[in-house]
Amino acid sequence: MKIFQPTNQPTNQPTNQPTKSNLALIALLLAGMGCTSTASAALMSRLGGLAVYDTDFNITWLADANYAKTSGYDADGLMFWDSAKSWAAGLNVGGYTGWRLPNADTACGTGLVYNCINSELGHLYYTELGVTAGNNITSSTSPYLALFSNVKNNVYWNSTLSSFPGGAWGFMTNDGSQGGTYALAFDHYSWAVRSGDVGGSSVPEPGILILIGIGALAWAGTRYRRLG
């Protein structure tokens, strides 16, 4: 008796294995996942060098740490806290608004405290730029420092009010300490930041590529069962 052989299934190809094209597709997806995850960096330049994106905190810094002076808004960039807040809130950089002063870490302690890595400036100082307590931020040997300009070894305002009356938190980039300072009695520098990424690429995140890879493997497994 002659056995019917489908014309679209060659007799010399096993029917219970994924095709070479399927395997190649899976390999490319897995390779893409690996490339994306290893290519990620903690700080990335944005808006043609005007801003710097922190992938850890999902915030974007102005690259110019004294933009209030550079832009001509203030003669030296030193402002009282309320003026600094208004300046940051009114910024439009590269078509992006929503800028603000960085957040402090209020759970870090009262008084003059160090190693507050959960504050936005503290994370930049200690984690991204690798500076240790007691040292100037400009002493950093990290290549990330080159992404910024006009960084001062001085006090920068935080957006957060401190516990004592008339006070607001400040971060001292000259030694890495966080402490309260009188909002209406002292003028300090301001480094604007914005929540989220600006001007980033549309390359999928590693997690998305992993899901795509899982879907591809599941699809190949379904074909395996059907052909088997």
Q: Are residues 188 and 222 in the same domain?
A: no
Q: Are residues 25 and 130 in the same domain?
A: no
Q: Are residues 119 and 145 in the same domain?
A: yes
Highest mean pLDDT among 7-21, 165-179, 190-204: 165-179
Mean pLDDT (the chain) is 80
Q: What band does 199 get if pLDDT is binned at 50, 70 and 90?
A: confident
Per-residue pLDDT at 13 exceeds 90: no
pLDDT value at position 41? Answer: 59
Q: CA-CA distance, 186 to 202, in Å (whole number)?
A: 43
Q: Is residue 4, in this structure, part of any structural domain at all?
A: no
Would the pTM count as exceeding 0.85? no
Q: Is residue 108, in this structure, part of any structural domain at all?
A: yes
Q: CB neighbours of 169 closer than 8 A, spacing ≥ 6?
A: 104, 106, 157, 158, 160, 161, 162, 178, 179, 180, 181
Q: What is the pLDDT of residues 122-138, one digit of tens each?
A: 999 999 999 999 999 99
Max CA pair span of the chain = 102
Q: How many domains does the chain have?
A: 2
Q: Are residues 183 and 114 in the same domain?
A: yes
Per-residue pLDDT at 23 exceeds 80: no
* More confident: 165 or 224: 165
Q: CA-CA distance, 180 to 190, in Å (whole number)?
A: 15
Q: Are residues 132 and 152 in the same domain?
A: yes
Q: From the DSSP assignment, how many helices (H) and strands (E) are in the chain?
A: 5, 8
Domain of residue 91: give its range.
43-195
Q: Is residue 85, in this structure, part of any structural domain at all?
A: yes
